A and B are shown apart, each in its own frame.
Chain A
């Protein structure tokens, strides 16, 4: 019992660490309750993080989510929970954008490449998470019908559309409106298949919309944990003042080209060590911890990478 309490405290400290976690919906205590309840009832806890992508590569910010999910899964397992952690690679969603439509084939290939890379990463670092292509997930889980149900509810609800509009950067709004917020509605339907979602803060609007839809459909509520926003490196102190939208929610973590900031992010296998050093050197580090700080985010990723490797070494020593 004492052991479990310690583990629960550790879990709580991971989920509420203000340096890395932005917030939760409805709140961390509620999420812990669900975890305890499911663990005691020996029910599987299904957690997930969904990401789409572009053709510019895998960002270090995606890796942050992979590590976070892995550590969360590890802590839940230590607590005795049965956990299924899924990273959904949204291959279909990546081709939805108007600007991507003439690149469908390339994007589909990129999805496969991305999956291969992620599988290698999982194998090499022994990450306790599963990478699943969204298209496969949709087939296996008969999602088409579920998405239709969600759409039917959303169609008549102005509030839902308004919330979904808030999930996209201003420069993408028109395009999302044209597709009827298809991506958002798919995301909501997908979320209903899981217990806990991990995502960037902007997704709280999906989740608020999801809550309305869930209630109308009589489905269970979605619980979410939001990690701190992703900010570009190599920017001076004026950047956040001149880019208030990015200041509020950050860049899309998994899309390297979000807001055309690809040159100011670390892209795995593309950004050289020298370039990284330059980016880090040029980044303004605020003294106020409440202000956007991409360096502290990098520190978080490095810490999680360190822990992952430490665990691997412990395993190796056992052998």
Chain B
């Protein structure tokens, strides 16, 4: 039985957790409003449930910009293109896995997927010592892990930026369409401190987004860019330039980050190993990390059972919500959690069991993926840029 003091402290703790939930909700709704993004509620109403990716069903995808042409393609059973890359400054963790699960779901709906591994970005932002180091992580760690997720090679093209220098020809072409003043207004001066940052943020990332619309890949097409809210300016800039050069402005799907294991208001980050579960972690490491993770339940069991928990800010529940495809099980856990009917020990056991199984499967698939890596590598020369 808790003392009155402990109860008062737990009630205070509960209020703080509700406050965090409110802050998170406000943050995303403010971002949506500020950036002119649309809610996905209407899309969820119309898109049949069996076609909805997990990210949509669970509220991981939170907003969009002009996603309607993509939905139209899905409805007509026609293909569309998705571009989503990542900065290979650390091995893949579950935050990346959640993004690749979304890409995988989209591929099942007909998407051709382009995945740039932006080792040049790692260098310009000082996250890697040099191109060779970031290339090595991309080649030896990330690429096999992505392929292991089960993508179809005929519908998936992966490239490491520095191994596909033709991309820079496209970037150079796109640089004719933007000015430095525009870049400053979009990204802010503080993000454009070196020539590398100006080149990368200004046009290389845009080249990744617009690459699939070159004649070598069939020309103009509807393209979806799943991004975190911080990447929104890149999509806006690419949309502007696409209009100028006769391409179709890409659509955007904004997704939430898988939270840090230690802080629901921060994202899981490869550069802070205790915040993340890597696809290379052992079962013991996973168990240890999950046991230390932040939850949405107050410390006093009595108070938790009386007032319920706040699963929306729980880093352990987030692992299930972002990654476990079993809707019924996740829904049930959430309901119990809200009512204080599942102990955190039990929740962590469930999450650990799930994550260990998931990562075990990834590690097993990785062995076979090593043999087929080459089928996924984009090698198409970009002749159209050099033709007169």
Contact = CB atoms under 8 A, between A and B. Distances in A.
Interface of A: 236-242, 284, 286, 288, 291
Interface string B33-67: 00000000011011110000000000000000000
B76 to A, nearest CB: 7
B327 interface: no
B76 A241 contact: no
A44 to B, nearest CB: 45
Given A242-B68, A242-B69, A242-B71, A237 B42 contact: no
Contacts of B48: 237
B30 interface: no
A286 B46 CA distance: 7
B192 to A, nearest CB: 37
A238 B45 contact: no
Contacts of A238: 46, 68, 71-72, 74-76
B236 to A, nearest CB: 21
Contacts of A236: 75-76
24 contacts: A236-B76, A237-B47, A237-B48, A237-B75, A238-B46, A238-B68, A238-B71, A238-B72, A238-B74, A238-B75, A238-B76, A240-B46, A241-B43, A241-B46, A241-B68, A241-B71, A241-B72, A242-B68, A242-B69, A242-B71, A242-B72, A284-B75, A286-B46, A291-B46
A285 to B, nearest CB: 10
A288 B44 CA distance: 11
A241 B42 contact: yes
A237, A286, A288: residue with the most chain B Cβ atoms closer than 10 Å? A237
A138 to B, nearest CB: 43
* Interface SS of B by simple majority: helix
Contacts, number: 32
Contacts of A286: 45-46
User: Could you say which interface size class chain B belongs to?
Assistant: 10 to 19
Contacts of B47: 237
Nearest to A286: B46
A47 to B, nearest CB: 35
A293 to B, nearest CB: 12
A286 B48 CA distance: 8
Contacts of A242: 68-69, 71-72
Interface in B74-126: 74-76
A239 to B, nearest CB: 8
Contacts of B43: 241
Contacts of B42: 241
Interface string B194-219: 00000000000000000000000000
Contacts of B46: 237-238, 240-241, 286, 291
A284 B47 CA distance: 10
Contacts of B69: 242
Nearest to B51: A237
Contacts of A288: 45
Nearest to B72: A238
B253 to A, nearest CB: 14
A100 B42 CA distance: 37
Nearest to A292: B46
A293 B69 CA distance: 21
A242 B43 CA distance: 10
A241, A242, A286, A291: residue with the most chain B Cβ atoms closer than 10 Å? A241
A286 B68 CA distance: 17
Given A238-B71, A241-B71, A242-B71, A291 B45 contact: yes
B248 to A, nearest CB: 14
Contacts of A284: 75
A238 B76 CA distance: 9
B73 to A, nearest CB: 8
B61 to A, nearest CB: 15
A284 B75 CA distance: 10
A286 B72 CA distance: 16
Given A238-B76, A242-B72, A288-B45, 14 more contacts: A236-B75, A236-B76, A237-B46, A237-B48, A237-B75, A238-B72, A238-B74, A240-B46, A241-B42, A241-B71, A242-B68, A242-B69, A242-B71, A291-B45
Contacts of A240: 46
Nearest to B73: A238
Interface in B18-43: 42-43
B71 to A, nearest CB: 5
A240 B75 CA distance: 12
A237 B49 CA distance: 12
Contacts of B68: 238, 241-242
Nearest to A240: B46
A291 B47 CA distance: 12
Nearest to A235: B75
A236 B72 CA distance: 8
A284 B51 CA distance: 14
A240 B44 CA distance: 12
A288 B46 CA distance: 9
Contacts of B71: 237-238, 241-242
A238 B71 CA distance: 6
B211 to A, nearest CB: 26
A236 B46 CA distance: 10
Contacts of B75: 236-239, 284
A242 B72 CA distance: 7
Nearest to A241: B68
